[in-house]
């Protein structure tokens, strides 16, 4: 089944792309979640008409992501955790903990967009990567201190 993507889908493509997917994937997931529309001749003509609007919307989202990335790059998060011997943490600091700390700072970022190279199991300074858009990512300094 041919569909038109209304939003970016990670494994398929970008907003406005016409792609072919299985019927079940389109009917049961993409169309009900309003991520895509069936690629009928009417919808394709409408897409051509709205393509300029879609590109402007994508540019605004990208610019907003760049602004957020600049703010995040200047930010240093401090996370308090329970510590045992030799500054080892009980458990670890996860992307969920970082997302909660970002929410406390006023940034609403999904934990799935936060990438940590290795689990944080000690106190100290670490770097986490935040993917805000396909073209935009930021690095956050995370400082883990004893509670």
Task: Express each pLDDT in 70-126 by its tens digit.
Answer: 998 888 999 998 998 887 888 889 999 999 999 999 889 998 999 998 889 999 999
Does residue 9 have a pLDDT over 90?
no
* CB-facing half-sphere around the CA of 41: CA atoms within 13 A: 0
Predicted pLDDT of residue 125: 92
Predicted pLDDT of residue 41: 86
Give the whole-angstrom CA distance, residue 67 versus residue 136: 10
Check whether domain 2-61 has CATH 3.40.5.10, yes or no: yes
Give the whole-angstrom CA distance, residue 125 versus residue 130: 16
Q: Where in the chain is the domain with CATH 3.40.5.10?
A: 2-61
Predicted pLDDT of residue 87: 79
Predicted pLDDT of residue 56: 84
Give the whole-angstrom CA distance, residue 10 versus residue 15: 11
Predicted pLDDT of residue 147: 83
Q: In 10 A of CB 22, how many CB atoms?
A: 9
Predicted pLDDT of residue 20: 93
| pTM exceeds 0.75, yes or no | no
Mean pLDDT of the chain: 88
Q: Where in the chain is the domain with CATH 3.10.430.100?
A: 70-146
Architecture of the CATH domain 70-146: Roll (3.10)
Residue-wise pLDDT for 120-146, tens only, equals 999 999 999 999 888 888 999 999 999
């Amino acid at each position: 089944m041919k569909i038109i993507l209304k939003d970016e889908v990670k494994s398929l493509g970008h907003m406005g792309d016409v792609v072919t997917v299985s019927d079940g994937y389109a009917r049961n997931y993409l169309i009900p979640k309003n991520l895509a529309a069936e690629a009928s001749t009417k919808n394709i003509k409408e897409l051509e008409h709205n393509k300029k609007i879609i590109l402007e919307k994508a540019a605004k989202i990208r610019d907003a992501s760049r602004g957020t990335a600049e703010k995040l790059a200047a930010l240093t998060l401090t996370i308090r955790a329970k510590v045992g011997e030799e500054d080892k943490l009980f458990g670890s600091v996860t992307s969920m903990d970082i997302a909660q700390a970002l929410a406390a700072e006023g940034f609403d970022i999904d934990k799935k967009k936060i990438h940590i190279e290795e689990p944080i199991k000690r106190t100290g300074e670490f770097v986490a990567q935040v993917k805000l858009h396909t073209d935009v990512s930021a690095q956050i300094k995370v400082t883990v201190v004893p509670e």
